[in-house]
Structure 1
Amino acid sequence: MENIQHSHVEVKGLKLHVAEIGTGEKVVVFLHGFPEIWYTWRYQMIAVANAGYRAIAFDFGGYGLSDHPAEPEKATIMDLVDDVKDLLDTLGISNAILIGKDFGAIPAYLVAAVHPEKVASVITLGVPFILPGPSAVQNHLLPKGFYITRWQEPGRAETDFGRFDVKSVIRNIYTLFSKSEVPVAGDEQEIMDLFNPSTPLPPWFSEEDLTAYASQYEKSGFRFALQVPYRSLTVESGLIDPKVNVPALLIMGEKDYCFNFPGMEDYIRGGVAKNFVPKLETIYIPEGSHFVHEQFPEQVNKLIIEFLDKQSI
């Protein structure tokens, strides 16, 4: 970890926090999800750097140590697509491999669709290809206490989260979302109420890890995170029939709660995702949760490096 270098790179007037390790000619750019930051990729960055690649992970604007956009409530996932493309341009990187986790998977795929010349291949964890828009998540097919529905309601999550310190919010989310059930609150509950205070952290997530996350969310807060992805997920992307034509790998934990989203299991296991990503390969990790890359880093690192090296042959 001490060999990871940190800097701020200005992209369209925003200073983005960038972590980097490795000097290989081939560049791997990691895109985090929620409640994550660059740190979520600590194991993968070191592994791909040791395998001869240049590894870059950054905090999206509004997250961690990156600047907030001037008008966060107007931001959409398509702004993240621009962030990735513009960061590559600013760093002088003509072509990269993109690895996205959770909602970070969405811009990973969309950068490849919109700027195919910039992307050599795509790897995603926990989330397949999803096009932002009204049908991105079938909220109406889940109970009204579904966590995305709750977090999309302006002010509701802010009030819920605001009852706790930042560290407790991160602890609660990491613990709740590492289970196989979709977080759904009852009529008289909020999402934070689903957490049992006696529940320990997952064994693969230490107090030190929790402190690292909390220290950065104490700076950024949750304002932008609730807008992107949750409140902007239903905003049309403006893209018509996008295709990702580069080689792609989807790594899914079998215990990932996302499998319980309506239609998601059929979409992934039935091969429907290949309609958008024709060269997609999917690998399942039997005991893996939504945080499979932190839970089983050695296994995930091996899959990533094998895939990357295969593209290099």
Structure 2
Amino acid sequence: MDQITHKFIQVNGLNLHVAEAGSETSPPVIFLHGFPEIWYSWRHQMLAVATAGFRAIAPDFRGYGLSDAPPEPEKACLTDLVHDTASLLDSLAISSKAFVVAKDFGGWIAYGFALLYPEKVAGIITANVMFMPPGAFADHFVFPEGFYVSRWQKPERTEADFGRFDVKTVVRKIYIMFCGSEMPIAGENEEIMDLVKPSAPLPSWMTEEDIAIYGTLYEKNGFRTALQATYRTMHMPGSEIQDPKIQAPTLVILGEKDYLMKVPGMKEYIQSDSVKKYVPNHETVFVPEGCHFLQEQFPDHVNELIIAFLNRNKHVAVV
């Protein structure tokens, strides 16, 4: 971990925390985290990518980790994170196209970035999410009332639920919950945090030290901006673009045991290969035992997939 450096960069009026590894003259790879993650969730990939001859850049989104929260967290939205990504690359004086590696809702940022700033994107790798044109499949994906996404859209109930525990415990519970293969759905009189019992163990690939680091880094901002931008706006970046197309080469890595595979309509969309209408240069790879945290669960396998993709498309990043 001492090969990873840390700095703060002012982006759109906020100081964003950025972790980096590798030479500044190497092709850039920017890593975009999901929830409840931060830059640290990419620790295995950053070192592997840097060793392979690329420059790894992993920011904490605004309101996450050590980055500043926006002055009005209640107005935070995913499009802010897209513009922050573009401005961050500019602040780092990166003139070449960059590869974007993203997970979970970070994938929405990656695809929005490719739509709004195509001249900056050399290629995209996403874990656990693939491109879906905004609004086109809204009727296909119906969430039950007790599904965590539905519940976390309700500020008062969610903040009361989270507020019963310290930050570290909340992160621990979410990690354990999201590792399951079933959709996390609470009963009418049950809270989301209560889906995970206090005695529930961490997955074998995560340590107590990892959870302590996540907890410590979430203490600065808590979950207010994270929940607002991710779950309470649900506005897909780039939705204003008619007939959206992503021309950059794209790789999607999916865990076959990820609970998201059981979201109504998701498997049908994936199996139909409809995504190629919008992302012509698209490839999907399935990880048989993969859960929602592929890059931490199977870091070596994910690293191999990422580095092979980067090497195949390295020429695209050259100015």
Q: TM-score, normalised by structure 1?
A: 0.96
CA displacement at 1:133 relative to structure 2: 5.3
Whole-angstrom distance in 1 between the partners of 2:215 and 2:139: 28
Whether contact under 8 Å (1:48, 1:54) holds in the other structure is yes
Question: Shift in Å at residue 230 of structure 1?
Answer: 0.2
**Aligned mates of 1:240, 1:227 — CA distance in 2:** 26
270, 294, 297: which one pairs with 1:295? 297
Please name the residue that 2:13 is paired with: 13
> Which residue does 2:286 correspond to in 1?
284
Q: Which residue of 2 aligns with 1:69?
A: 70
Q: Which has the higher contact order (CA 8 A, sep 6+)?
A: 2
8 Å Cα contact 1:85-1:111 kept in structure 2: yes
- Any conservation in 1 of the 2:21–2:57 contact (CA below 8 Å)? yes
Q: 1:235 to 1:274 in 2, by over 3 A?
A: closer
The verdict on how the C-alpha distance between 1:294 and 1:137 changes in structure 2, with shifts beyond 3 A counting, is: farther
Q: Return the alpha-carbon distance in structure 2 between the equivalents of residues 137 and 154 of structure 1.
A: 24
Which amino acid is the alignment partner of residue 143 of structure 1? Answer: P
Deviation, structure 1 residue 239: 2.6
CA contact (8 A) 1:167 1:211 kept: yes
Of the structure 1 ranges 271-280 and 51-60, higher mean CA displacement relative to structure 2 is found in 271-280
C-alpha contact (below 8 Å) 1:134/1:234 kept by paired residues = no
Quickly say closer, same or farther: Cα 1:206–1:137, change in 2 above 3 A.
farther
Q: Structure 1 residues 32 and 262 mapped into 2: Cα distance closer, same or farther (>3 Å)?
A: same
Amino acid of the structure 1 residue aligned with 2:124: V
Q: Alpha-carbon deviation of 1:25?
A: 2.0
Structure 1 residue 142: Cα displacement: 3.2
1:33-182 mapped onto 2 (5 Å cutoff): 33-94=34-95, 95-131=97-133, 141-182=142-183
1:19–1:235 distance in 2 versus 1, CA, 3 Å: closer
CA distance in 1, matches of 2:125, 2:138: 20
**Of 106-115 and 165-174, the range deviating more from structure 2:** 106-115
CA–CA distance in 2 between the matches of 1:133 and 1:37?
Answer: 28
Deviation at 1:272, TM superposition (A): 1.3
Q: Matches of residues 149-228 of structure 1 in structure 2 within 5 Å?
A: 149-228=150-229
- Name the SS for the 2:152 alignment partner: helix
Show structure 1 runs of 4+ deviating over 2 A: 130-139, 234-241
TM superposition shift of 1:107: 1.0
Q: Mind listing any 5+ residue stretches in structure 1 that lack a counterpart?
A: none
CA contact (8 A) 2:8 2:17 kept: yes
Q: 1-side partners of 2:214 and 2:271: how far apart?
A: 33
Query: How far 1:132 sits from its partner (Å)?
Result: 5.1
1:306 aligns with 2:308: yes
Offset of residue 144 of structure 1: 1.1
Which region of structure 1 is more displaced relative to structure 2, 87-96 or 244-253? 87-96
Contact 2:79–2:236 (8 Å) recurs in 1: no
Q: Is the 8 A contact 1:161 1:192 kept in 2?
A: yes
> Which one-letter code corresponds to 1:83 in the other structure?
D
Instruction: Say if 1:204 and 1:126 are closer, same or farther in 2 by CA, change over 3 A.
Output: same
Q: Secondary structure at the match of 2:309?
A: helix
Q: Report sequence identity in percent.
A: 55
Equivalent positions of 1:266-281 (< 5 A) are 266-281=268-283
Counterpart Cα distance in 1 of 2:33 and 2:255: 17
Deviations 1:212-243 (A, max 9, x none): 10001111100001101100114783232221
Report how many aligned residue pairs link the two structures: 312
**1:106 corresponds to which letter in structure 2?**
W
CA distance in 1, matches of 2:305, 2:236: 33
Match of 2:32 in 1: 31
Q: Deviations over 1:66-122 (max 9, x none)?
A: 001111111211111101111111111121000110000011111111111100000
Cα distance change of structure 1 residues 136 and 152 upon mapping to structure 2, 3 Å threshold: farther
